[in-house]
Amino acid sequence: MTHILVTGGAGFIGSHVTSALLAANHDVSVLDCAHPAAHREPPPAPDGAILHRADVRDRGAVRAALRGVDAVVHQAALVGLGAGPDDLPEYVGCNDLGTAVLLAAMSEAGIRRLVLASSMVVYGEGAYRCERHGPVRPTPRDADDLAAGRFEPSCPHCRQPLTAGLVAEDAPVDPRSVYAATKVAQEHLTAVWARECDASVAALRYHNVYGPRMPRDTPYSGVAAIFRSALAGGRAPRVYEDGGQVRDFVHVGDVAAANVAALGAGRGFRAYNVASGRPTTVGDMAGLLADAFGGPRPVVTGQFRLGDVRHVVASPARAAAELGFRAAVPPADGLREFACAPLRG
């Protein structure tokens, strides 16, 4: 048995991770500030966990929470694309300064094992191949193309259509939003820390997480929660672009299991995709939720957000080979369950 500190452990993913660690017979403490972007009301920690109500940027509070701790699972972060440039200081503060404070305190306490909640957004677009030029990295999509309904990225060399494939952890990072940039920075900070302290960092690049206790419709919710909230309000889910964006939707229970498995990762920094391995389009996901809920059919709007990417489909092979993690919940089954699952206020 070991003592694990989970930052953000009262949040959506963090609470499931905390419960999974408790079920695996770990002692668990939670550090959570109940940030208003994630919580309308301060949530309790899962039963059996010790709660420290504090911000990860508070050095004194972090030092206190780390007493007696053997490893840290770092979930605390602001998520989502953000509302605009005004969000920059809070995103960088919560995600990057918070991580730096945590790493400094861990070094001081002699704690050398970290599991980091990262994200597939670090990749930007996923993996693509041009028939003529082979593997290519498409440039960010142009606003004029998107407004004209040309949603698919093209080859940066010949402008011909591309074929999307599986993105692996060795793909170059290419952040295309403030949130993505802070996640890349977190990975870089923890990689330096692992090298300098001879420590272990497993950076789990979550794909599109969904499941019970997701927050209700806010600018920071995932697309699954936004659609689910619309259905609960009697409204049709509004699908951006043409609904053909491909994502990998992974159940929060599987994400929690991946965190438990990642505590056994080796020394040094290593990134892992956490995905179901069964991709689907956003339009199909919205339709499945609507059918299961018994609500109005989705509306495809043609609207777009410049920070969005078209296709991100993961290879889960590394996590399976090195951590023994394989997602157990098929998205079709999990999304049907999620259609009627309670959301968090």
* Secondary structure class of 99 (helix, strand, coil): helix
Residues 285, 342: Cα–Cα separation, whole Å: 18
Specify the residue for token string 């017979």.
25
Report H helices in 80-234: 88-91, 98-109, 143-147, 178-197, 223-232
Q: Beta strand pairing status for 27-31 and 3-7?
A: parallel
Residues 137, 155: Cα–Cα separation, whole Å: 8
Q: Beta strand pairing status for 3-7 and 71-74?
A: parallel
Of 179, 210, 240, 272, which one is the catalytic site residue?
179
Measured CA distances, 98 to 28, 40, 122, 162, 190 (Å)? 20, 21, 18, 39, 12
Residue 179 appears among annotated catalytic residues: yes
Measured CA distances, 259 to 4, 34, 71, 164, 295 (Å)? 11, 21, 12, 28, 34
Q: Which residues are catalytic?
A: 179
